[in-house]
Amino acid sequence: MNKIHPTAIIEDGAELGTNVEIGPYCMVGSGVKIGNGCSLKSHVVLDGQTTIGTENIFHPFSYVGGEPQDLKYNQEKSLVIIGSKNIFREGVSVHRGTVGGGGKTIIGDDNLLMGYVHVAHDCSIGNHNILANYTGLSGHVTLDNYVTLGGQNGVAQFLRVGSYVYTGAASLIDRNIPPYATGYGNRFEVKGVNIVGLKRQNFSRESIGEILEAHRIYYRPDLKNDEALRVIEETFGESAAVRAFLDFIYSAEGSGKH
């Protein structure tokens, strides 16, 4: 049974699952689909062609499905697609996609977006990520899984952040960040491997050791990029964890170092 406050506005065409709670002064647009067990605390706006999975929580003044901040946008139909068990804290904004960027902004499952986080058009966020307060993703940014972005991070457009990355607060991220890295700075610099995060996700001691050594080789100043990759391939190419690191470098970085 749904629980809808009398001051909430649910436009004709909106689709609600079961056990949905919609608090005071919320607005749900006509193109919105809300899955079972979602909760809109108060003053939440869900707009556009937005599809939301189950058991998501939206805190006051979060705004999901708004028009992209892209001057080329001309009211084309575009989407926001959200998975399940995400938490959107106060003032979070998520904008729908653009035709030029594929038309979709995607958020997976079990993500925490803290206060005043912004997710711009055509971003793709995986699962189990944490975006701390006042962090902003520019358009077309990809976050893989288990990424933690510190407070007041800014991520430039068209970048990718690999799985298990941890960034410090107030970092300006203007380059792709490979899996397992940790760092900080304005501008962001990789400082090492996110060992604490890997232990928390039950990586074996052997895998962590392989990642550490691959990371050390890749960032050696006396090795060119292709030489470092060749050494890593020859030494740890059979390691699944290192393979993910290598695949990221090949796909996202080409021939450039971080």
**What's the pLDDT tens digit per position in 4-52?**
999 999 999 999 999 999 999 999 999 999 999 999 999 999 999 999 9
Separation CA 258–CA 103 (nearest Å): 29
The backbone torsions φ and ψ at residue 135, rounded to the nearest 5 degrees and listed phi first, read: -80, 140
**What's the pLDDT tens digit per position in 97-149?**
999 999 999 999 999 999 999 999 999 999 999 999 999 999 999 999 999 99
Its sign, for the CA torsion 184, 189, 195, 199, is positive
Residues with catalytic roles: 121-122, 139
* Threshold 0.85, pTM exceeds: yes
Domains of the chain: 3-192 (2.160.10.10), 198-253 (1.20.1180.10)
Q: For residues 36 and 54, is the Cβ–Cβ distance under 8 A?
A: yes
Number of H helices, E strands in the chain: 4, 28
Q: For residues 94 and 61, is the Cβ–Cβ distance under 8 A?
A: no
Q: For residues 58 and 20, is the Cβ–Cβ distance under 8 A?
A: no
**What's the pLDDT tens digit per position in 52-85?**
999 999 999 999 999 999 999 999 999 999 999 9
**What's the pLDDT tens digit per position in 186-244?**
999 999 999 999 999 999 999 999 999 999 999 999 999 999 999 999 999 899 999 99
